[in-house]
Amino acid sequence: MIAATIIARQNKFLLAENAFQRTEIAFYRERIPAGTSLRLTDAWRKRFARAAAGVGWKRLGEIATVAKGATIRDWHRLMLKGELGRKRLGPGRPRVDAKIEALVVRMANENPTWGQLRIAGMLFMCLIAISPRTIAAILDRHGLKPA
């Protein structure tokens, strides 16, 4: 009888805590514009993955709002493999070699009437294949304007 009373009291507190947390979630949802994507750190992904494991994946799909249930399940699998949080390569192509970049800047400074197409053509004659758009990006990084 005493054990049943203690369990009922704990259940009552857990239900009240759950109701409070749902109210908090509703508060935050109202303040974040619809369609806004939150950027989660790997630490937060791990926290969500650990918490979700106890809920059950089917139920998680019904209640998860921070990400889809399947996404959180994927985070959990990556966490178990030790792959969640590994450094990834940055977006885009790697930069042009520093020597080539310096050459482009030098050519632009020494030949102010040359545009990015002309610089690309001259470099191509030296067997350096680089696109005019890349030359424009290099000049922009160095504060130079193409002719």
Per-domain boundaries in the chain = 1-32, 40-88, 98-141
Residue pair 69/61 in contact (Cβ under 8 Å)? The answer is yes
Interval 69-83: pLDDT, tens:
899 899 999 989 888
pLDDT recorded at residue 131: 94
pLDDT recorded at residue 89: 67
pLDDT recorded at residue 106: 95
Judge whether residue 128 has pLDDT over 80.
Answer: yes
In whole angstroms, what is the distance from residue 14 CA to residue 16 CA? 5
pLDDT recorded at residue 116: 94
In whole angstroms, what is the distance from residue 139 CA to residue 17 CA? 58
Q: Which amino acid is at 32?
A: I
pLDDT recorded at residue 96: 92
Interval 80-103: pLDDT, tens:
988 887 776 677 888 899 999 999
pLDDT recorded at residue 21: 84
The strand ranges marked E within 11-130 are none
Judge whether residue 143 has pLDDT over 80.
Answer: yes
Region for residue 86 given its phi and psi (left: phi exceeds 0; alpha: psi -120 to 50; beta: otherwise): beta
Interval 26-64: pLDDT, tens:
888 788 877 777 788 888 899 888 888 888 888 888 888
Residue pair 108/99 in contact (Cβ under 8 Å)? The answer is no
